[in-house]
Amino acid sequence: MAQTTNKFQIIQKVSAEDTVLIHPETEAEVVKYDGKTAGITADNVQGAIDEVYEQVKGITGGGIVTGVKGDKETAYRKGNVNLTPANIGAEPSGAVSTHNSSGTAHTDIRTAVTNAQNKANSAYALAEGRAKAVSFDTVAAMTTALKAAAKSDYKVGDNIFIKALDTPDYWVSKVLDNNTGTYGYFEISALESQKVDLTSYQQKTDGSLTTTSKTIVGAIGEVKTTADAAKNQSNTNTTEISNIKNGSTKVGAASKADSATSATTATTATSAGKWSTARTIGVTVGSGVKKDGSTAISGTGSQSVDGSANKTVSVNLGDSGVTAGTYSAVQVNAKGIAVAGGQMIEIGTSGQDTPSASLATGGLFFKVV
């Protein structure tokens, strides 16, 4: 298959009447270039490349750099030039390291750092001596944990709380040298404060209670009995309402409807299987308007119904105005109906200056140049 190479201008269609030239041509001579920042005088890519080439040729030929010198030198040198720290006014090698390691240099900074370290060490020592508190579910759990703990894990004064009721809480009273005690490295003593017993409060009489029983325990039991009765009644009501809704339980005069012979007077009707007069049911479907807004896209259908059988209403949707075909872009209305279509790319023919009507808005037209 033969291949043809063409040059194109790329033009974008932005509306039915307007276009934008995105890319002029494909040859470097006509591609515009602004060389103000680079200091290039050419106004196109080809000219800029040629101008850069001439500059590179001058550099490689030795015609630009004529000599090199350091800031502290008075004369320019040529050839293989070696710049030393002294040539440019820099510190000799090792001078900075020698200065930083000097015991007399930066004495103010050294003193400030030492003072800060001493204060930090003092704060750490104070914090390390503070007592802490831990808790365990049972005395057995506490014993196991203490025997497995390191000597530094607890200090004298640390509190140990037990969650179990009727059990005292403890504190660390001594730290041993060896892990030989009942609690490893530690001896513990019971705290003097005991847990609060609220048994007497539960039996206390309170005349402000609106229950028959005036004790806390009795009032709670009475409220529980009332709540259980209310729950049982609620469950019964829920079941009865459900039975009424599903028809298994009939209420009041509604049960008489089982023998009614008329839907209006309940005296003369003999059958509810068919309407005495047939009715026509119509359906209209609106799917928006066409792109130009001239006419609506709609569909209609109807069916005669007398109640004796199921009926289906067929609806034929009106045309949207888009010619049948294949499109790379479509426009749809709020109902999802295609009201316009077009192509996103159009390759022009020789002598064609503008895109055809089939190019969609936003599409690209390649003009042959």
- For the segment 11-52, what is each residue's pLDDT rounded down to a tens digit? 898 888 898 888 776 567 767 787 777 778 888 888 888 888
Confidence bin at 55 (pLDDT 50/70/90): confident
Residue 152: how many other CB atoms lie within 10 Å:
9
Q: What is the 3-state composition of the chain as percent helix, strand, coil, each rounded to the nearest 5?
A: 30, 25, 50
What's the confidence (pLDDT) of residue 330? 81
What's the confidence (pLDDT) of residue 266? 47
What's the confidence (pLDDT) of residue 286? 78
Amino acid 213 reads S
What's the confidence (pLDDT) of residue 16? 80
Sheet of 159-162: strand order equals 133-136, 159-162, 170-175, 186-190
Q: Domain segments of the chain: what residues?
A: 130-195, 200-236
CA distances from 60 to 124, 217, 270 (A): 68, 105, 115
Render pLDDT for 319-367 as a digit per residue (tens, 0 to 9): 777 777 777 788 888 777 887 878 888 888 888 888 988 888 888 988 8
Render pLDDT for 267-312 as a digit per residue (tens, 0 to 9): 444 556 788 888 998 888 877 787 777 777 778 888 888 888 888 9
- Residue 79 Ramachandran class (φ > 0 left, ψ -120 to 50 alpha, else beta): left
Comparing C-alpha atoms, which of 6, 8, 23 is closest to residue 367?
8
Better pLDDT: 276 or 126: 276
Percent of the residues in the chain that have a pLDDT greater than 90, as a whole number: 14
Angle at 178 between CA 175 and CA 181, to 5 degrees: 75
Confidence bin at 134 (pLDDT 50/70/90): very high
Confidence bin at 316 (pLDDT 50/70/90): confident
DSSP secondary structure code for residue 256 in this structure: G
What's the confidence (pLDDT) of residue 185? 94
Render pLDDT for 79-100 as a digit per residue (tens, 0 to 9): 888 888 888 888 777 776 777 6
User: Does residue 259 carry a pLDDT above 60?
Assistant: no
Cα 172 from chain centroid (whole Å): 51
Confidence bin at 251 (pLDDT 50/70/90): low
Number of H helices, E strands in the chain: 7, 12
Q: How far apart are CA 369 and CA 361, in angstroms?
A: 23
Comparing C-alpha atoms, which of 259, 366, 279, 306 is closest to residue 22?
366
pTM beyond cutoff 0.85? no
Average pLDDT over residues 89-113: 74
Comparing C-alpha atoms, which of 9, 12, 23, 21 is closest to residue 363?
12
For the record, the structure tokens of 179 come out as: 């892990």
Better pLDDT: 242 or 196: 242
Mean pLDDT of the chain: 80
Amino acid 276 reads S
What's the confidence (pLDDT) of residue 265? 46
Comparing C-alpha atoms, which of 341, 346, 281, 289 is closest to residue 314?
281
Render pLDDT for 174-227 as a digit per residue (tens, 0 to 9): 999 999 889 999 999 998 765 556 667 667 788 888 888 888 778 888 888 989
What's the confidence (pLDDT) of residue 128? 60
Comparing C-alpha atoms, which of 337, 345, 341 is closest to residue 320?
337
For the record, the structure tokens of 56 come out as: 């590179």
Render pLDDT for 144-168 as a digit per residue (tens, 0 to 9): 999 999 998 999 989 999 988 888 8
